Structure 1
């Protein structure tokens, strides 16, 4: 299986690799060997894929018309008048007068019936000759007045109106091919945050990256700094008057919170989808060096539709604040380089992205948080320490080779990737409590995480 993040181009790194011994939980540590691998039916991969021109099928609709049934004439039935009992005998003269009166009344009834019948026939003939010229169709009705309603606060429409001006489409052309992704405007003078795998290969004279803005302006961009380990990059366009995005926070984002994803899936810029935060603290191998442990993300999971080309675009809360950078999607089968959303998308939490982006913008490189250990998967749940960096945080905290780390603060550590993700969720200088299972039984150790340029 392969594991890629959406929106890049050319050759895509396989992701995730089978569960193998990973490198240190932090930049610069070398990966160990000999870690048990996952069975094939347990593997999953995350898609980092190139832009593909979508094919649209236009559906045809046929409308059947039936002629209106002819207008039927109204039928009249003669009436029977009562006779017999109830009448008294009369003199001959009286009988004669009554007989004429009956004839006159009968003639009046016949005349009335004939008049009604004639009117019905005349109306039917007039209808057939004139057709339905008096009918009103939808096509002849005037257009309604332009809607004056405003988007309610906290609606997807209101969020889209706020955030769309701060999202760009990034078009990348290199010797390996072409691809597209998304970016988030950080400043009015053209600084843009995106994924490293979107612009990888587009700098240092190896390719061309172009930003397409929502106001239809476009401009070439230069790469300011990249960090493959966090899969983040900052680029710069020489454009002014842009609308910077509002960065929120992800530490207190609850599972189930509504979110909106904006980007350029399959090259369709300005696409808006919505969903919820499905889970937090997901260790996901995506982007980076062929899906190695170097590229583990401490991801937010969402069911908002994220597709190839959404990479680098924002995941925002219902206040329009960026809470994550869309980076990866789950792909259920192998050989699906352009697989689309199955409701499992992953984003880098904005708390981590803000710190990395600040360093990339200011210095061109980023500092990785590290515990100072080389780790692999334990036979039971946990991350087994294979080596300890001399003088590092782990050694100073009393962690030894062979120890199995099962928890960091209140976060359970199920495997090596989970420990890497947990360490990267912190900033250098953070103090954490680590729960350890070792030869002497369970114990805890307090460690102060450090930073390492990578």
Structure 2
């Protein structure tokens, strides 16, 4: 499951689990995505164009879950673990097996010591009986004393005394020689040395240190308090007068009579209010009140990213503000399904996958390239097992591409609402691959392009479409008005479509 990085410490108000839409909650296998305002048939899945009315998402074939990295406790759902059919948040790995049996030893010999992980183990008790006497004991003068019964104990004691005498003599002689030879040598003590001169040179360009120094001042910790949940997440400043971009799932608990506190790098804080939010893209904008002259983040382009490129994540995982981690871009255009907190709208991201450590509380924070430009918004993490506990990083995190987030944030700032890109069809996974169209919205972009029920989309422009989620993610990565070419039934025919837009109404 993937956990969305819900604000740290959030106490859910009802639902709990790993991707209960914390970040990504797919529905049951085979359920269709709903498109536009028309209700799809019972077997349809959320379409590429609309935020579905419920969090029904097809179950992941491996049975794993995607959870948004919502911070501890999750906002309005235990631990912010978003549940999505088949995706779940991080869980503990398998423990090492313990060996509790002695290894068989050759006949007549004591078995070997057991190997236990993480603990010291005492050796076995030596076998009982006399030790064999030395066949050639050292000769010594006979004394006129009553003869005693000789045994191994007397011999061992004698040898021990001899060893002590020889060892003591050698040690004394060695010590005397060393003292004599170093009597006049000077003594150097590290405690008396002066501290080295402080480094004054700037961090090397392109280093993690340089990126952190450039971006950290614009990263904000967001403390959220709602009616039934509390927690924290991250965000970054996009205007000097206090506009901050973050994830919808970080602040949605405060959407109704809640409170948000923005804490800046210098330790100062200010109350913040929600400007607008979009559950379908998991983007929100808030404004810190009464602040001016704030450092502003530099936005880059996610379109220019390449797999293997170095990136840095900055945020407040588990309430540890200002945390910096680094890694690479592991994959691009990764369809990642999530859901709004109340489960009413599903989110499918065309995500950037990274191995930079992202944990609950990192949500809403920036993913940055090595030039210090923001290329994504950290939003979700993957966990191999579902569970009630809160997951952590296993090296698979997901970020919203900044090109898509920037477009959404701009609309929110200008109008208070966002527009979702739609194709006007409902789709589900095709058994032989591709996105099977199960409903076409009358008058929508799909109908105008000539799409019909039963068509299977296998390619959008140059992008392969293996699943229905892949089509949803590909459509939402575009802007309304963009023209795309759809390949149907593995190339049997192609159609051109002009994508439409639909205003998002948060619930």
- Say yes or no: TM over 0.5: yes
Cα distance, 1:332 vs structure 2: 1.0
Cα distance, 1:50 vs structure 2: 2.8
Cα distance, 1:310 vs structure 2: 0.5
The answer to whether 1:250 aligns with 2:302 is yes
Cα distance, 1:171 vs structure 2: 0.5
Of 431, 440, 454 in structure 2, the residue corresponding to residue 388 of structure 1 is 440
Cα shift readout 1:106-159 (whole Å, capped 9, x = no counterpart): xxxxxxxxxxxxxx99x59x96xx9x9x64332222111111222111111111
Cα shift readout 1:70-113 (whole Å, capped 9, x = no counterpart): 66445xxxxxxxxxxxxxxxxxxxxxxxxxxxxxxxxxxxxxxx
| Number of the residue aligned with 1:365 | 417
Instruction: Find the aligned partners of 1:270 and 1:223 in 2 and give their Cα distance.
Output: 23
Instruction: Find the aligned partners of 2:196 and 2:499 in 1 and give their Cα distance.
Output: 63
Match runs of 1:364-443 below 5 Å: 364-437=416-489, 442-443=492-493
Cα shift readout 1:334-387 (whole Å, capped 9, x = no counterpart): 115421111100000001000000011111110000001111111210111111
For the pair shown, which has the larger CA radius of gyration, 1 or 2?
Answer: 1
| Number of the residue aligned with 2:71 | 50
Q: Is the Cα contact below 8 Å between 2:3 and 2:391 reproduced in 1?
A: no
Of 314, 328, 333 in structure 1, the residue corresponding to residue 385 of structure 2 is 333
The answer to whether 1:5 aligns with 2:4 is yes
Q: Is the Cα contact below 8 Å between 1:182 and 1:264 reproduced in 2?
A: yes
| Number of the residue aligned with 1:62 | none
Q: Is the Cα contact below 8 Å between 1:7 and 1:265 reproduced in 2?
A: no
Match runs of 1:166-205 below 5 Å: 166-205=218-257
Q: Is the Cα contact below 8 Å between 1:385 and 1:402 reproduced in 2?
A: yes
Q: Is the Cα contact below 8 Å between 2:246 and 2:363 reproduced in 1?
A: yes
Cα shift readout 1:212-253 (whole Å, capped 9, x = no counterpart): 000111011000101000001000012111011111111121
The answer to whether 1:16 aligns with 2:25 is yes
State the Cα RMSD in Å.
Answer: 2.6
| Number of the residue aligned with 1:221 | 272
Uncovered stretches (5+) of structure 1, i.e. residues with no partner: 54-68, 75-119
| Number of the residue aligned with 1:92 | none
SS in 1 for 2:475: helix
Classify 1:22/1:247 alpha carbon distance in 2 versus 1 (closer, same or farther; 3 Å): farther
Q: Is the Cα contact below 8 Å between 2:338 and 2:346 reproduced in 1?
A: no
SS in 2 for 1:295: strand
Q: Is the Cα contact below 8 Å between 1:47 and 1:331 reproduced in 2?
A: no
Cα distance, 1:444 vs structure 2: 0.2
Q: Is the Cα contact below 8 Å between 2:69 and 2:358 reproduced in 1?
A: no
Instruction: Find the aligned partners of 1:343 and 1:443 in 2 and give their Cα distance.
Output: 40
Instruction: Find the aligned partners of 2:313 and 2:450 in 1 and give their Cα distance.
Output: 43
The answer to whether 1:447 aligns with 2:446 is no
Instruction: Find the aligned partners of 2:196 and 2:433 in 1 and give their Cα distance.
Output: 64
Instruction: Find the aligned partners of 1:136 and 1:30 in 2 and give their Cα distance.
Output: 83
Instruction: Find the aligned partners of 2:69 and 2:226 in 1 and give their Cα distance.
Output: 17
Count of aligned pairs between the two proteins: 383
SS in 1 for 2:260: strand
Cα distance, 1:43 vs structure 2: 3.3
- Please, what TM-score do these two structures have when normalized by structure 1? 0.79
Classify 1:293/1:29 alpha carbon distance in 2 versus 1 (closer, same or farther; 3 Å): farther
Cα shift readout 1:163-196 (whole Å, capped 9, x = no counterpart): 0011000001122232110001010000000000
Cα shift readout 1:4-31 (whole Å, capped 9, x = no counterpart): 3012333352443243323246x55645
Match runs of 1:36-435 below 5 Å: 38=59, 41-51=62-72, 72-73=175-176, 135-205=187-257, 207-238=258-289, 239-288=291-340, 294-335=346-387, 337-435=389-487
